[in-house]
Amino acid sequence: MYSTGKERAIPRLSSVVATVALLLVVAPQAVAVDAYSSDRLEMVRTIEAIAREVGGGATPSVLGMDVLDAMRRTPRHAFVPTYLQSLAYADRPLPIGYGQTISQPYIVALMTDLLRLAPGGRALEIGTGSGYQAAVLAELGHDVYTIEIVPDLAKQAAKRLSELGYDKVRVREGDGYFGWPDAAPFDGIVVTAASQQIPPPLIDQLKPGGRMVIPIGAAFLTQELILVEKLANGTVRTEAVLPVSFVPLTRSQ
């Protein structure tokens, strides 16, 4: 039922045998051919259209090609409950149980874009949820560390990610407040768990020049994104980025 393997063949396994085996599975589908591939292309076209429509100011109206490519490859249908698979590529958030959601594709793309990770970067995610955001980051070639507090969600996500071959994603079950000190520092951090606080340990574990993104809002509707930047000198700066650009005045702009 789940996608048979990674659609992109990057020989990142240490064992040659395993690499060959993976290539055998994946090679025939190098352009992401599965039952949902056309839905996925359509989803990315929608994301691009939304960005063009609502972007402006701090809200990007053109998203990074690498981000869009990663989303063209990530099998989103494998991250939603079976009964919702037909809606997996619709531009909407979906429930995944435990009061959690998988974000709207446009928001995932926007958050990933805002992180501005250089290739091969190291990313930390607080609030794994379904694991989709982690998978998108892994598709971009990053090392991903992700922490989920709800044990069942953590287990399901770990199993799903490993079955899909996302072995560059490490999932841990527990309190995200303290981050992942062993793997620190990180180039980028995504905090998808609703939070009133920005945990100081996470700021510590962010590399100078690194970025953190925190979506804010009720379930099913992201109202704003808080972008936290740690400058080269270690000072922390935050910026509110809206999913839709805002021009405060109607007449005299």
Partner 1 sequence: MPLLAAVSLLSLAAIAYEILLTRLFSIALWHHFAYMIISLALLGYGASGTFLVFAKHRLLSRFHTSFAALAVSFGVAAIGCYALVRHLPFNPLEIIWDWRQQVHLAAIYLLLAVPFFAAASAIALVLAAWPARIGAVYRADLMGAGLGALGIVAALFVLPPEDCLRIIAAFAFGAAALALYSVGRRPAAFAILLLAVPAALAWPQTSLTPMPSPYKTLSLALNVPGARIVAERTSPLGRLTVVESPHVPLRDAPGLSLASTLMPPEQLGIFTDGEGMTAVTRFGGDFAAVAYLDELTTALPYHLLDRPATLVLGAGGGAQVLQALFHRAPRIDAVELNAQLVDFVRRDFDDFAGHIYAHPAVSVHVAEARSFVEASDARWDLIQVALLDSFASSAAGVQALSESPIYTVEAFQTYLRHLAPGGMLAVTRWLGSPPRDTLKLLATAISALEANGLGSAGERMVLLHNWNTATLLVRNDAFSRDEIALIRRFAAERQFDLAWFPGIRREDTNRYHRMAKPTLFDATAALLGPARSAFVDDYRFDIRPATDDRPFFFQFFRWALLPELATIQSRAGLVYLDSGYLVLALALPQAVAAAAVLILLPLAWLRRAERATRAPGRIRVALYFLAIGLAFLFIEIAFIARFSLFLGHPLSAIAVTLAGFLVSAGLGSGVSRNIATRWPQMAIVLAVAAIATLGTFYALVLPHAFGAMMGLPLAAKSVIAIGLIAPLGFAMGLPFPLGLTRVSESAPALLPWAWGINGCASVIAAVMATLLAMHFGFTALLVLALGLYAAAAFLLGQERRPARSSA
Q: Is 219 in the site for partner 1 (CB under 8 A)?
A: yes
Q: Is 163 in the site for partner 1 (CB under 8 A)?
A: no
- Measured at the alpha carbon of residue 159, what is the angle toward residues 157 and 161, in degrees to the nearest 5? 65
DSSP character at residue 30: T
CA 150, CA 50: separation in Å to the nearest integer? 32
Q: Is 82 in the site for partner 1 (CB under 8 A)?
A: no
Q: Say which of 14, 61, 86, 103 is annotated catalytic.
A: 103
* First-to-last C-alpha distance (Å) of the chain: 52
| Choice between 13 and 90, CB closer to partner 1 | 90
Q: Is 167 in the site for partner 1 (CB under 8 A)?
A: no
Name the minimum Å distance from CB 229 to partner 1: 9
Q: Is 249 in the site for partner 1 (CB under 8 A)?
A: yes
CA 145, CA 138: separation in Å to the nearest integer? 10
Q: Is 234 in the site for partner 1 (CB under 8 A)?
A: no
DSSP character at residue 180: -
4 CB-contact burial (10 Å; exposed 0-12 / middle 13-18 / buried 19+): middle
Distance of CA 223 to the CA centre of its chain: 17
Q: Is 69 in the site for partner 1 (CB under 8 A)?
A: no
Residue 250: partners with Cβ closer than 8 Å, 6 or more residues away: none
The one among 106, 132, 145, 180 contacting partner 1 by CB under 8 A: 106
Q: Is 197 in the site for partner 1 (CB under 8 A)?
A: yes
Binding part of the chain for partner 1, among 17-25, 114-122, 145-153, 182-190 by CB under 8 A, reads 145-153
The one among 44, 50, 117, 171 contacting partner 1 by CB under 8 A: 50
Residue 118: partners with Cβ closer than 8 Å, 6 or more residues away: 187
Of 215, 217, 210, 216, the C-alpha closest to 237 is 210
Residue 14 annotated among the catalytic residues of the structure? no
- Measured at the alpha carbon of residue 160, what is the angle toward residues 159 and 164, in degrees to the nearest 5? 115
Name the minimum Å distance from CB 76 to partner 1: 15
The one among 149, 170, 183, 185 contacting partner 1 by CB under 8 A: 149
Q: Is 99 in the site for partner 1 (CB under 8 A)?
A: yes
Q: So which residues are the catalytic ones?
A: 103
What is the binding site for partner 1 (CB under 8 A)?
46, 49-50, 53-54, 57-58, 91-93, 95, 97-99, 104, 106, 149-151, 175, 177, 194, 196-198, 200, 203, 216-224, 226, 228, 235-240, 242-244, 246-252
